[in-house]
Amino acid sequence: VDLPTYPFQHKHYWIEAVQDTVDVEQAGLETAEHPLLSAVVLTADETGAVLTGRLSTRGHPWLADHAVHDAVLFPGTGFVELAVRAGDTVGLPVLEELTHEAPLVLPSDTAVTLQIIVRRDPGSDRAALEVYGRQDDASDPTGSWTLHASGTLTAAATTATITPADDLTHWPPPGADAVPVDALYPHLAGQGLHYGPAFQGVRAIWHRDDEVFAEVELPTPGVEQAAGFGLHPALFDAALHALAGADHSDHRGHSGQEPGPQLPFAWQGVTLHASGATALRVHLRPTGPTTIAVSLADPDGTPVATVTSLVTRPAPSIPRPADDPTHHALFHLEWTPAPALPGTSTPATPATEEIALHHVTADGPDMTTRVRSALRTVLGILRSSAGHEPTTSDRTPIALITRHAVSVADTDPAPDPAAAAVWGLVRSAQA
């Protein structure tokens, strides 16, 4: 066996991955200290803030496990998480209301830039909140922003907001019947809601009349991320899957719910009592014809979060990341045989239009010289034609005909390098 004549040097020569991080403090910003956000700017007049971040399935692979109708969709619980974090930034930790304006589709090959704008009402403990997104696109760096969610933040209540219905210390819930969960996620997939492992957190479901109870937990990879969130969106989203589980077993947890796959639409009274949960006890109860209340507690029954009212609606038709289906597409040239023209009885007539014909030869002792010779000749012809700037009436067409410049069929010989170079040069000039 032939071996190198020097000892193994233990060196590698591949390119190291570059971390997608930026020192925002060097730009005069503050670090957001959140997995989904990068920076925060508090306005000088103390009336608001702007939080920014970038979302992608590359930077946050678990987001790819939330797909609706074959499109990766940022979960509604993710908007709640972002809104609550924005509220904490300005000292208004309660999400009074939040409405989803437009779905946020995450492309597979690019990121989405987020802006969360908080505008505080002067002299009050309330602030308006808007969440905008814009797809990163090198071809359109000034693309338009889309409003994905809007709502209102408010100060924490001065009195306790925990009600007896939120007490989940007695577990399993007394008087409740267990519901099978084995078929839950195949059932949801059949409705167009495709949840990958990161979002398949339901472990048990019970029902008692119109109430639904559940146990959910983060899969192992998500547990390590939970500490950075107020309430991990995948865990929060899994808590809402219990509604579909009860419905699938003919025990409707929400009598006013429309048939079909449901997604969160409007939230009211969202309060986070503890952060970093990795497992939850869940209580979902109807509060009106189309609303439910949500109570979440940790495995010991300690309150984690409460939602006064949640309205869901059928999953909308999800737009693709770009309206143009060829956006970011890669193209290739395809040759199609041209049909033979039908015969004609009209005799040939002399051409009335002048055409400049040039015979180009590729001479030289080797291929490199032949290619350069052909390119120099054709380039001189093109420059000569463009140099005299003819008028429209006396402009003479130039026809350049190549042979074996490309292979149009599997049986064709390999392209001639000189002819191929001429072909490419002229196509570039036309462009």
What per-residue string of b and e applies to 17-40 under the rule 16 or more CB within 10 Å gives b? eeeeeeebeeeebeebebbbbbbb
**Where residue 317 falls among pLDDT bands split at 50, 70, 90?**
low
Secondary structure (H, E, C), the chain: CCCCCCCCCCCCCCCCCCCCCCCHHHHCCEEEEECCEEEEEECCCCCEEEEEEEECCCCCHHHHHEEECCEEECCHHHHHHHHHHHHHHCCCCEEEEEEECCCCECCCCCCEEEEEEEEECCCCCEEEEEEEEEECCCCCCCCCCEEEEEEEEECCCCCCCCCHHHCCCCCCCCCCEEECCCCHHHHHHHCCEEECHHHCCEEEEEEECCEEEEEEECCHHHHCCHHHCCCCHHHHHHHHHHHHHHHHCCCCCCCCCCCCCEEEEEEEEEEECCCCCCEEEEEEEECCCCCEEEEEECCCCCEEEEEEEEEEEECCCCCCCCCCCCCCCCCCCCCCCCCCCCCCCCCCCCCCCCCECCCCCCCCCCHHHHHHHHHHHHHHHHHHHHHCCCCCCCCCCECCCCCCCCCCCCCCCCCCHHHHHHHHHHHHHHC
pLDDT tens by residue, 83-93 = 999 999 999 99
Overall average pLDDT of the 4-14 stretch: 78
**Where residue 423 falls among pLDDT bands split at 50, 70, 90?**
confident
Q: Which residues, in sequence order, are bridge partners of residue 398?
A: 356
C-alpha torsion sign, points 54, 101, 184, 233:
positive
d(CA 291, CA 310): 5
Residue 223, Cβ density class (10 Å: 0-12 exposed, 13-18 middle, ≥19 buried): middle
- Please give the model's pTM, rounded to 2 decimal places: 0.69
pLDDT the model gives residue 15: 66
d(CA 295, CA 269): 11
Average pLDDT value for the chain: 83
**Where residue 318 falls among pLDDT bands split at 50, 70, 90?**
low
**Where residue 260 falls among pLDDT bands split at 50, 70, 90?**
low
The CATH number of domain 24-154 is 3.40.605.10:
no
Q: Which residues are catalytic?
A: 66, 237
Helix axes 233-248, 76-89, angle to 10 degrees: 140
Separation in Å, CA 268 to CA 15, 150, 376: 49, 12, 73
Contacts of 381 (CB under 8 A, 6+ apart): 358, 360, 398, 400
Q: Do residues 134 and 112 touch, judged by C-beta distance below 8 A?
A: yes
d(CA 198, CA 46): 38
d(CA 164, CA 306): 12
Which is more confidently placed, 294 or 353? Answer: 294
Question: Angle 245-187-107 (CA atoms, 0-180°, nearest 5)?
Answer: 105
Does residue 136 carry a pLDDT above 50? yes
**Closest of 310, 313, 263 to residue 284, by C-alpha:** 310
Does residue 100 carry a pLDDT above 90? yes
pLDDT the model gives residue 353: 61
Structure tokens at 334: 């395809």
pLDDT the model gives residue 338: 77
pLDDT tens by residue, 34-66 = 999 999 999 888 889 999 999 999 999 999 999
Would you say the CATH fold of 166-250+260-314 matches that of 24-154? yes
pLDDT the model gives residue 212: 95
pLDDT the model gives residue 323: 43
Does residue 245 carry a pLDDT above 90? no
Contacts of 132 (CB under 8 A, 6+ apart): 114, 115, 116, 117, 145, 146, 147, 148
pLDDT the model gives residue 224: 84
Tell me: cis bond preceding 172? Omega within 30 of 0 counts. Answer: yes
pLDDT tens by residue, 369-422 = 888 888 888 888 888 776 655 444 456 677 777 878 888 877 888 888 888 888
Q: What percent of the chain has pLDDT over 70?
A: 79
pLDDT the model gives residue 8: 80
pLDDT tens by residue, 152-170 = 999 987 666 667 767 889 9
Domain map (residue ranges) of the chain: 24-154, 166-250+260-314, 357-385+395-430
| Least confident span in 45-54, 58-67, 244-253, 309-318 | 244-253
d(CA 177, CA 250): 12
pLDDT tens by residue, 206-220 = 999 999 999 999 988
Does residue 232 carry a pLDDT above 70? yes
Structure tokens at 308: 């006064």
pLDDT the model gives residue 281: 96
pLDDT the model gives residue 386: 66
d(CA 19, CA 28): 21
Does residue 22 carry a pLDDT above 60? no
Residue 86, Cβ density class (10 Å: 0-12 exposed, 13-18 middle, ≥19 buried): buried
| Least confident span in 240-244, 356-360, 422-426 | 356-360
Does residue 328 carry a pLDDT above 80? no
Strands 30-34 and 37-42: antiparallel
Does residue 278 carry a pLDDT above 80? yes
Helix axes 417-430, 367-387, angle to 10 degrees: 30
User: Domain 166-250+260-314: which topology?
Assistant: Thiol Ester Dehydrase; Chain A (3.10.129)
